[in-house]
Protein backbone atom coordinates (compact mmCIF):
# COMPACT_ATOMS: atom_id res chain seq x y z
CA UNK A 1 0.00 0.00 0.00
CA UNK A 2 2.85 2.37 0.73
CA UNK A 3 4.92 1.45 -2.34
CA UNK A 4 2.43 1.43 -5.20
CA UNK A 5 5.00 2.44 -7.82
CA UNK A 6 7.34 -0.38 -6.76
CA UNK A 7 4.41 -2.79 -6.94
CA UNK A 8 3.69 -1.64 -10.50
CA UNK A 9 7.33 -2.00 -11.53
CA UNK A 10 7.36 -5.56 -10.21
CA UNK A 11 4.23 -6.46 -12.13
CA UNK A 12 5.09 -4.65 -15.36
CA UNK A 13 8.75 -5.54 -15.73
CA UNK A 14 9.25 -8.80 -13.82
CA UNK A 15 5.74 -10.27 -13.78
CA UNK A 16 6.07 -10.54 -9.99
CA UNK A 17 3.48 -9.80 -7.31
CA UNK A 18 5.68 -8.28 -4.59
CA UNK A 19 3.10 -9.04 -1.91
CA UNK A 20 3.82 -12.74 -2.45
CA UNK A 21 7.36 -13.10 -3.84
CA UNK A 22 10.62 -11.12 -4.02
CA UNK A 23 11.68 -8.99 -6.98
CA UNK A 24 14.52 -10.62 -8.97
CA UNK A 25 17.61 -8.38 -9.01
CA UNK A 26 20.06 -8.65 -11.91
CA UNK A 27 23.49 -6.98 -11.84
CA UNK A 28 23.98 -4.48 -14.64
CA UNK A 29 26.32 -1.69 -15.71
CA UNK A 30 26.23 1.86 -14.36
CA UNK A 31 28.50 3.83 -16.68
CA UNK A 32 31.35 2.57 -18.79
CA UNK A 33 34.70 3.40 -17.20
CA UNK A 34 36.68 4.25 -20.28
CA UNK A 35 35.85 5.47 -23.72
CA UNK A 36 37.27 7.16 -26.79
CA UNK A 37 40.64 8.75 -25.92
CA UNK A 38 40.63 12.55 -26.28
CA UNK A 39 42.75 15.53 -25.36
CA UNK A 40 41.49 18.45 -23.27
CA UNK A 41 39.91 20.00 -26.37
CA UNK A 42 37.71 16.98 -27.01
CA UNK A 43 39.75 16.00 -30.07
CA UNK A 44 40.01 12.23 -30.50
CA UNK A 45 43.59 11.00 -30.23
CA UNK A 46 45.25 7.81 -31.35
CA UNK A 47 48.65 6.17 -31.08
CA UNK A 48 51.36 6.05 -33.70
CA UNK A 49 55.02 5.09 -33.64
CA UNK A 50 56.15 8.36 -32.04
CA UNK A 51 53.10 9.85 -30.29
CA UNK A 52 50.59 8.52 -27.74
CA UNK A 53 48.24 11.43 -28.43
CA UNK A 54 48.19 11.96 -32.18
CA UNK A 55 45.12 14.07 -33.05
CA UNK A 56 42.52 12.70 -35.47
CA UNK A 57 41.62 15.93 -37.25
CA UNK A 58 37.93 16.81 -37.32
CA UNK A 59 36.80 14.03 -34.94
CA UNK A 60 35.59 14.98 -31.45
CA UNK A 61 34.16 13.06 -28.48
CA UNK A 62 32.72 14.41 -25.25
CA UNK A 63 30.64 13.18 -22.33
CA UNK A 64 30.16 9.56 -21.36
CA UNK A 65 31.66 8.19 -24.58
CA UNK A 66 34.98 10.00 -24.10
CA UNK A 67 38.03 9.46 -21.89
CA UNK A 68 39.96 12.64 -21.13
CA UNK A 69 42.07 10.83 -18.50
CA UNK A 70 41.03 12.93 -15.52
CA UNK A 71 40.71 10.95 -12.26
CA UNK A 72 40.95 7.69 -14.16
CA UNK A 73 38.44 7.41 -16.93
CA UNK A 74 35.23 9.25 -17.71
CA UNK A 75 31.95 9.88 -15.90
CA UNK A 76 32.12 7.19 -13.24
CA UNK A 77 35.70 8.18 -12.54
CA UNK A 78 34.83 11.88 -12.44
CA UNK A 79 31.37 13.40 -12.71
CA UNK A 80 28.96 14.72 -15.30
CA UNK A 81 29.74 18.38 -14.55
CA UNK A 82 33.40 17.91 -15.44
CA UNK A 83 32.48 15.85 -18.51
CA UNK A 84 29.99 18.29 -19.93
CA UNK A 85 30.58 21.76 -18.50
CA UNK A 86 34.37 21.71 -18.62
CA UNK A 87 35.33 19.43 -21.49
CA UNK A 88 32.04 19.88 -23.36
CA UNK A 89 32.60 23.63 -23.35
CA UNK A 90 36.26 23.20 -24.31
CA UNK A 91 35.28 20.98 -27.24
CA UNK A 92 32.61 23.44 -28.39
CA UNK A 93 35.04 26.35 -28.26
CA UNK A 94 37.69 24.40 -30.15
CA UNK A 95 35.21 23.35 -32.85
CA UNK A 96 34.09 26.96 -33.37
CA UNK A 97 37.70 28.15 -33.57
CA UNK A 98 38.70 25.32 -35.90
CA UNK A 99 35.70 25.82 -38.19
CA UNK A 100 36.22 29.59 -38.40
CA UNK A 101 39.79 29.09 -39.64
CA UNK A 102 39.18 26.04 -41.84
CA UNK A 103 36.91 27.06 -44.69
CA UNK A 104 37.18 23.97 -46.85
CA UNK A 105 36.98 20.23 -46.36
CA UNK A 106 39.32 17.62 -47.69
CA UNK A 107 37.75 15.84 -50.67
CA UNK A 108 36.09 12.57 -49.71
CA UNK A 109 37.79 9.46 -51.05
CA UNK A 110 35.89 7.59 -53.73
CA UNK A 111 35.34 4.62 -51.40
CA UNK A 112 34.15 6.71 -48.41
CA UNK A 113 30.79 4.93 -48.15
CA UNK A 114 31.99 1.43 -48.93
CA UNK A 115 32.54 0.27 -45.35
CA UNK A 116 29.13 1.51 -44.19
CA UNK A 117 27.33 -0.08 -47.13
CA UNK A 118 29.18 -3.37 -46.72
CA UNK A 119 28.19 -3.44 -43.04
CA UNK A 120 24.55 -3.08 -44.01
CA UNK A 121 24.71 -5.45 -46.96
CA UNK A 122 26.42 -8.32 -45.12
CA UNK A 123 23.21 -8.86 -43.14
CA UNK A 124 21.27 -9.55 -46.33
CA UNK A 125 20.49 -13.06 -47.45
CA UNK A 126 22.21 -14.72 -44.50
CA UNK A 127 20.55 -17.45 -42.49
CA UNK A 128 22.40 -16.75 -39.27
CA UNK A 129 21.13 -16.47 -35.71
CA UNK A 130 18.61 -13.95 -34.42
CA UNK A 131 20.45 -10.93 -33.01
CA UNK A 132 18.73 -10.93 -29.62
CA UNK A 133 19.58 -14.59 -28.97
CA UNK A 134 23.26 -13.72 -29.39
CA UNK A 135 22.82 -10.56 -27.31
CA UNK A 136 21.30 -12.54 -24.44
CA UNK A 137 24.27 -14.91 -24.36
CA UNK A 138 26.68 -11.99 -24.52
CA UNK A 139 24.87 -10.30 -21.62
CA UNK A 140 24.98 -13.47 -19.52
CA UNK A 141 28.70 -13.98 -20.21
CA UNK A 142 29.55 -10.41 -19.22
CA UNK A 143 27.49 -10.61 -16.04
CA UNK A 144 29.21 -13.86 -15.08
CA UNK A 145 32.79 -13.01 -15.99
CA UNK A 146 33.13 -9.20 -15.85
CA UNK A 147 30.86 -8.36 -12.94
CA UNK A 148 31.56 -6.84 -9.55
CA UNK A 149 33.29 -9.91 -8.07
CA UNK A 150 36.15 -11.00 -10.32
CA UNK A 151 38.77 -13.74 -10.33
CA UNK A 152 41.57 -14.18 -12.84
CA UNK A 153 40.34 -17.63 -13.86
CA UNK A 154 36.80 -16.37 -14.43
CA UNK A 155 37.99 -13.43 -16.52
CA UNK A 156 40.24 -15.67 -18.63
CA UNK A 157 37.25 -17.94 -19.27
CA UNK A 158 35.19 -14.86 -20.17
CA UNK A 159 37.74 -13.84 -22.80
CA UNK A 160 37.23 -17.18 -24.55
CA UNK A 161 33.43 -17.00 -24.29
CA UNK A 162 33.23 -13.47 -25.69
CA UNK A 163 35.59 -14.40 -28.55
CA UNK A 164 33.27 -17.28 -29.44
CA UNK A 165 30.22 -15.01 -29.23
CA UNK A 166 31.94 -12.53 -31.54
CA UNK A 167 32.10 -15.24 -34.19
CA UNK A 168 28.34 -15.69 -33.79
CA UNK A 169 27.81 -11.93 -34.09
CA UNK A 170 29.70 -12.00 -37.39
CA UNK A 171 27.15 -14.54 -38.65
CA UNK A 172 23.93 -12.82 -37.54
CA UNK A 173 21.31 -12.83 -40.26
CA UNK A 174 17.99 -11.15 -41.00
CA UNK A 175 14.75 -12.90 -41.78
CA UNK A 176 13.13 -9.51 -42.47
CA UNK A 177 15.23 -7.65 -45.03
CA UNK A 178 12.83 -4.77 -45.66
CA UNK A 179 14.37 -1.30 -45.92
CA UNK A 180 11.72 0.72 -44.08
CA UNK A 181 11.49 0.86 -40.25
CA UNK A 182 13.21 -2.50 -39.87
CA UNK A 183 13.86 -2.87 -36.13
CA UNK A 184 15.51 -6.26 -36.65
CA UNK A 185 18.21 -4.56 -38.73
CA UNK A 186 18.73 -1.93 -36.02
CA UNK A 187 19.01 -4.67 -33.36
CA UNK A 188 21.58 -6.55 -35.43
CA UNK A 189 23.70 -3.41 -35.85
CA UNK A 190 23.41 -2.65 -32.12
CA UNK A 191 24.65 -6.14 -31.22
CA UNK A 192 27.53 -5.63 -33.64
CA UNK A 193 28.43 -2.48 -31.68
CA UNK A 194 27.92 -4.12 -28.28
CA UNK A 195 30.33 -6.98 -28.95
CA UNK A 196 33.08 -4.38 -29.51
CA UNK A 197 32.44 -2.91 -26.06
CA UNK A 198 32.15 -6.36 -24.47
CA UNK A 199 35.39 -7.66 -25.95
CA UNK A 200 37.26 -4.44 -25.13
CA UNK A 201 36.08 -4.68 -21.51
CA UNK A 202 36.71 -8.41 -21.09
CA UNK A 203 40.13 -8.58 -22.74
CA UNK A 204 41.37 -5.41 -21.02
CA UNK A 205 40.16 -6.59 -17.60
CA UNK A 206 41.75 -10.03 -17.89
CA UNK A 207 45.09 -8.49 -18.83
CA UNK A 208 45.15 -6.05 -15.86
CA UNK A 209 46.57 -8.19 -13.06
CA UNK A 210 45.87 -5.92 -10.12
CA UNK A 211 42.98 -4.21 -8.30
CA UNK A 212 42.13 -0.64 -9.30
CA UNK A 213 38.91 1.23 -8.62
CA UNK A 214 35.94 -0.87 -9.69
CA UNK A 215 38.29 -3.55 -11.06
CA UNK A 216 38.58 -5.63 -7.89
CA UNK A 217 40.05 -9.09 -8.42
CA UNK A 218 40.12 -11.42 -5.43
CA UNK A 219 43.45 -12.94 -6.57
CA UNK A 220 45.22 -9.60 -6.05
CA UNK A 221 43.48 -8.13 -2.99
CA UNK A 222 45.73 -7.14 -0.06
CA UNK A 223 45.11 -5.54 3.34
CA UNK A 224 44.44 -1.80 3.45
CA UNK A 225 47.62 -1.26 5.52
CA UNK A 226 49.88 -3.00 3.00
CA UNK A 227 52.32 -0.19 2.21
CA UNK A 228 53.64 -1.89 -0.94
CA UNK A 229 50.35 -2.35 -2.77
CA UNK A 230 47.34 -1.20 -0.73
CA UNK A 231 44.17 -3.04 -1.77
CA UNK A 232 46.15 -4.82 -4.46
CA UNK A 233 46.79 -1.81 -6.69
CA UNK A 234 50.11 -2.11 -8.54
CA UNK A 235 51.19 1.40 -9.54
CA UNK A 236 54.69 0.26 -10.49
CA UNK A 237 53.41 -1.90 -13.34
CA UNK A 238 49.83 -0.81 -14.03
CA UNK A 239 49.69 2.98 -13.71
CA UNK A 240 48.82 3.20 -17.42
CA UNK A 241 45.86 3.37 -19.76
CA UNK A 242 44.72 0.29 -21.67
CA UNK A 243 43.80 0.67 -25.34
CA UNK A 244 42.00 -2.17 -27.13
CA UNK A 245 42.28 -2.49 -30.90
CA UNK A 246 39.34 -4.04 -32.71
CA UNK A 247 41.14 -5.00 -35.91
CA UNK A 248 43.28 -7.70 -34.30
CA UNK A 249 41.85 -7.91 -30.75
CA UNK A 250 45.11 -6.63 -29.28
CA UNK A 251 46.07 -4.31 -26.43
CA UNK A 252 48.52 -1.45 -26.19
CA UNK A 253 49.14 0.94 -23.32
CA UNK A 254 49.95 4.59 -22.78
CA UNK A 255 51.15 6.48 -19.70
CA UNK A 256 48.85 8.39 -17.36
CA UNK A 257 49.45 12.15 -17.31
CA UNK A 258 50.04 13.00 -13.66
CA UNK A 259 51.01 16.67 -14.05
CA UNK A 260 48.11 19.13 -14.39
CA UNK A 261 48.62 22.24 -16.53
CA UNK A 262 48.19 24.91 -13.85
CA UNK A 263 48.30 23.33 -10.37
CA UNK A 264 50.48 20.93 -8.43
CA UNK A 265 50.12 17.22 -9.09
CA UNK A 266 47.93 15.25 -6.69
CA UNK A 267 49.61 11.92 -5.86
CA UNK A 268 47.54 8.73 -6.21
CA UNK A 269 45.79 7.62 -3.04
CA UNK A 270 44.10 4.46 -1.82
CA UNK A 271 40.43 4.43 -2.77
CA UNK A 272 38.46 4.06 0.47
CA UNK A 273 34.87 4.66 1.55
Residue intervals of the chain classified under CATH 1.20.58.100 are 114-249
Write out pLDDT tens, residues 117-135. 988 888 876 778 899 999 9
Of these ranges, 42-56, 94-108, 111-125, the one predicted with the greatest mean pLDDT is 42-56
DSSP for 59-92? EE--GGGEE--SSSSSGGGS-HHIIIIIIIHHHH
pLDDT at residue 231 above 90? no
Q: What confidence score (pLDDT) does residue 205 get?
A: 95
Q: What one-character DSSP code corresponds to residue 220?
A: G
Which residues have C-beta within 8 Å of that of residue 257, sequence separation ≥ 6?
A: 69
Going by pLDDT thresholds of 50, 70 and 90, the confidence category of residue 75 is very low
**Would you say domain 114-249 falls under CATH 1.20.58.100?**
yes
Q: Mean of the pLDDT values across residues 202-213?
A: 92
Going by pLDDT thresholds of 50, 70 and 90, the confidence category of residue 272 is low
How many Å separate Cα 123 from the centre of its chain?
Answer: 25
Angle value at C-alpha 162, between 157 and 168, nearest 5 degrees: 135
Q: Mean of the pLDDT values across residues 93-103?
A: 91
pLDDT at residue 95 above 90? yes
Amino acid sequence: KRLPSVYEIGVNFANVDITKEPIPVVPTIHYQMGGIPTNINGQVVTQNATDHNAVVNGLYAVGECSCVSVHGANRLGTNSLLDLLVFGRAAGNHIVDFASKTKSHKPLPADAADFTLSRLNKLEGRGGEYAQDVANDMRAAMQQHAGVFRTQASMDEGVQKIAAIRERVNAIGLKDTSKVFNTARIEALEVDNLIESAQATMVSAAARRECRGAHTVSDYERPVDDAVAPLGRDDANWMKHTLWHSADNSLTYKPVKLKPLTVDSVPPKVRTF
